[in-house]
């Protein structure tokens, strides 16, 4: 029995520098991920969006590699979000359950699929937490709008909040390619079935859709806030113009009275 464990350790990891830092055999490499073989029946999968997955490593070995990756990690998360799943090799069987994957043979591509989907699940947990926090922040303003009919947020703060939401949306789109399967699954029916079953077991597509819908709700609320803010600024500008006109009229009126005097 083997174990896959995935960690979210940072917002991003420098993949290019990882190639030189870790003296391990590279089985797969591109601009966003690295898949290493670390000795006999041990693998490490590193993703640029701050995720690291391990297959068949002891706690001591995991912590040693995470320590090595620390200098290459940007915006480390305050605590590590993780997920585990057991892997068993039984000849002639392939099955995915809630907490266990059975593989017909010890195949590195199959193991990579298990590590990839486990890592994606951890990433979704992180983005779920982030969107929940954003939604809570947004609800503070919507509840105040309901009770008092006004917003208590400056235009500058609103712009920063909108920028924060858009950056998170872009980050999710760039990092979570859960609808894209590795090239190996296109040519191998068993790998394709394994990938599909893993996505279903981890509920990746529904969770991704749920996060996207939450971001959509937040964006709609922010659009409303922006419209209210623009209307408030427009009304303020109108009052400024009216006051300036009144001042000009009063000034002219006083000037004429003094002139007649």
pLDDT tens-digit map of 219-246? 888 888 777 776 666 666 666 777 777 7
Helix (H, G, I), strand (E, B) or coil at 215: helix
Q: Give the Cα separation of 141 and 150 in Å (integer).
A: 9
Tell me the sheet residues that pair with 81.
8
On the question of pLDDT at 258 being above 70, the answer is no
pLDDT score recorded for residue 144: 78
Per-residue pLDDT at 205? 86
Query: Among 184, 19, 63, which Cα is nearest to 113's?
Result: 184
- Residue 228 maps to a domain: no
Query: For the chain, what is the mean pLDDT?
Result: 85
User: In whole angstroms, what is the distance from residue 35 CA to residue 28 CA?
Assistant: 5
Distances (CA, A) of 179 to 200, 202, 261: 12, 13, 84
Q: Which two tokens stand for residue 122?
A: 């951890």
> In the predicted model, is pLDDT for residue 16 greater than 80?
yes
Query: Are 165 and 157 a contacting pair, CB within 8 Å?
Result: no
On the question of pLDDT at 55 being above 90, the answer is: yes
Q: Can you give the pLDDT at residue 99?
A: 87
Say if 191 falls within a structural domain. yes
Q: Using alpha carbons, select from 38, 56, 60, 45 the residue that is nearest to residue 9.
A: 45
End-to-end CA separation in angstroms for the chain: 105
The answer, yes or no, to whether residue 60 has pLDDT greater than 80, is: yes
Assigned domain for 19 exists: yes
Q: Does 256 reside within a domain?
A: no
Compute the distance between CA of residue 196 and CA of residue 92 in angstroms, rounded to an integer.
19
Answer whether 0.75 is exceeded by the pTM.
yes
Domain coverage including residue 32: 2-221
Asked if residue 260 belongs to a domain, the reply is no
- Count of structural domains, the chain: 1
- pLDDT digits 0-9 by tens, 151-208: 777 777 777 877 887 787 777 777 665 556 777 888 888 999 999 999 999 998 888 8
Mean pLDDT of 122-131: 89
- Whether residue 232 lies inside any domain: the answer is no
Residue burial 116-152, b: 16+ Cβ < 10 Å; e: rest: bbbbbbbbbbbbbebbeebeeebeebeeebeeeeebe
């Amino acid at each position: 029995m083997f174990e896959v464990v995935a960690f979210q350790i940072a917002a991003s990891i420098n993949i290019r520098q990882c190639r030189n830092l870790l003296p391990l055999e590279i089985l797969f490499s591109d601009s966003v991920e690295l898949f290493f073989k670390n000795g006999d029946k041990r693998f490490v999968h590193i993703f640029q969006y701050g995720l690291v997955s391990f297959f068949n490593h002891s706690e001591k070995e995991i912590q040693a590699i995470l320590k090595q990756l620390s200098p290459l990690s940007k915006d480390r998360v305050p605590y590590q979000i993780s997920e585990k799943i057991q892997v068993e090799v039984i000849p002639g069987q392939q099955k995915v359950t809630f907490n266990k994957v059975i593989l017909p043979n010890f195949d590195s591509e199959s193991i990579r699929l298990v590590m990839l989907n486990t890592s994606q699940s951890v990433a979704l947990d992180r983005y779920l937490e982030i969107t929940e926090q954003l939604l809570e922040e947004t609800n503070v303003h919507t509840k105040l709008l309901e009770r008092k009919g006004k917003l208590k947020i400056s235009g500058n703060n609103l712009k920063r909040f909108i920028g924060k939401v858009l950056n998170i949306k872009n980050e999710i789109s760039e990092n979570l390619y859960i609808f894209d399967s590795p090239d190996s699954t296109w040519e191998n029916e068993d790998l394709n079935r394994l990938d599909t079953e893993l996505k279903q077991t981890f509920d990746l597509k529904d969770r991704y859709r749920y996060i996207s819908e939450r971001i959509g709700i937040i964006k709609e609320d922010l659009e409303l806030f922006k419209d209210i803010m623009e209307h408030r600024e427009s009304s303020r500008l109108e009052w400024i113009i009216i006051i300036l006109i009144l001042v000009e009229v009063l000034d002219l009126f006083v000037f004429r009275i003094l002139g007649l005097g």
